[in-house]
Amino acid sequence: DGGITQSPKYLFRKEGQNVTLSCEQNLNHDAMYWYRQDPGQGLRLIYYSQIVNDFQKGDIAEGYSVSREKKESFPLTVTSAQKNPTAFYLCASSIPGQGGITEQYFGPGTRLTVT
Amino acid sequence: AQSVTQLGSHVSVSEGALVLLRCNYSSSVPPYLFWYVQYPNQGLQLLLKYTTGATLVKGINGFEAEFKKSETSFHLTKPSAHMSDAAEYFCAVSATGGGNKLTFGTGTQLKVEL
């Protein structure tokens, strides 16, 4: 089955520690995205990558970092500089498409709790 | 720049009643519009999308939405609610030149009562 996997489902960390969230897709999609979801705020874009070895900041990139060394993988690191890291993190992917716009497919999410 | 407004963070309907979830968008270029559904502690699932062409779009699970350019709206409807429709629904917009980035509304939590 093709899809997006995110691991782990739940993650707990102490304040001041960096933590890396995994996102893997076997859909052969070129583009990948990371969103943060907080209650009542919808989804906000953290970083996105349209091709291997290239990525751009989204609306709330401060305190986060990413890499895109392989087409299938787009890990997100939440650094100690992120002031409020506790949230639900969603990874997505898409084929850019002829017109450059297509739907995004989402993984199951990782709930990060930092205390 | 583009934005999405979802009126009503919580909507409650009786089972069998009409579901209407409102979405208004702002975009300086012709928009592409999406509705997603999210069940608790899960990812988002695409319900339907509007790109070009027919303005009435049918999606999964009996949902449909109509693109009204004059009203900058893309409201989601279902004629008869089912208990399994209880979830959070997100409207999203994208536009050409934006790198396929989606801008999401803040979501509407749908409750279905017996």
Distance, in angstroms, between B16 CA and closest chain A CA?
27
* Mean pLDDT value of segment B28-47: 92
pLDDT reported for residue B11: 98
**Pair A7, A108: CB distance under 8 Å:** no
| Res B95: pLDDT | 73
Q: Is B86's Cβ below 8 Å from some Cβ in A?
A: no
Q: What is the CA radius of gyration of chain A?
A: 13
Position B96 scores a pLDDT of 66
3-state secondary structure of B9: coil
- Does the CB of A42 have a partner CB in chain B at under 8 Å? yes
Q: Residue B100 is nearest to which of A88, A90, A102, comparing CB atoms?
A: A102
Q: Do B46 and A105 touch (CB under 8 A)?
A: yes
Q: Rounded mean pLDDT of B44-49?
A: 96
Nearest chain B residue to A6 by CA: give it.
B43
Q: A110-114 and A10-13: which strand pairing?
A: parallel
State which H helix or E strand residue A20 sits in: strand A19-25
Cα A23 to Cα B39: distance, rounded to the nearest angstrom: 20
In whole angstroms, how far apart are CA B10 and each of A95, B21, B24, B93, B111?
33, 10, 16, 21, 8
* pLDDT, tens digit, 9 for 90 and up, residues B19-34: 999 999 998 788 899 9
Please judge whether B104 and A42 are an interchain contact, meaning their C-beta atoms are less than 8 angstroms apart.
yes
The pLDDT value recorded for residue A96 is 72
Intervals of chain A under pLDDT 70: 1, 97-100
B9–A40 C-beta distance less than 8 A: yes
Q: Give the CA angle between residues A60, A30, A43 to the nearest 5°.
A: 30
Of A42, A108, A109, the CB nearest to B90: A42
Residue A91 and residue A47: Cα distance in Å, rounded? 10
Confidence at residue B30, expressed as pLDDT on a 0 to 100 scale:
82
Local confidence band at B44 (pLDDT 50, 70, 90 cut-offs): very high
CB atoms within 10 A of CB A59: 12
> Hey, is the C-beta of A106 within 8 angstroms of any chain B C-beta?
yes
B53/A contact by beta carbon, under 8 A: no
**Chain B CB contacts of A30 below 8 Å:** none
pLDDT above 80 (res B99): no
- A91 burial via Cβ count (<10 Å: 0-12, 13-18, 19+): buried
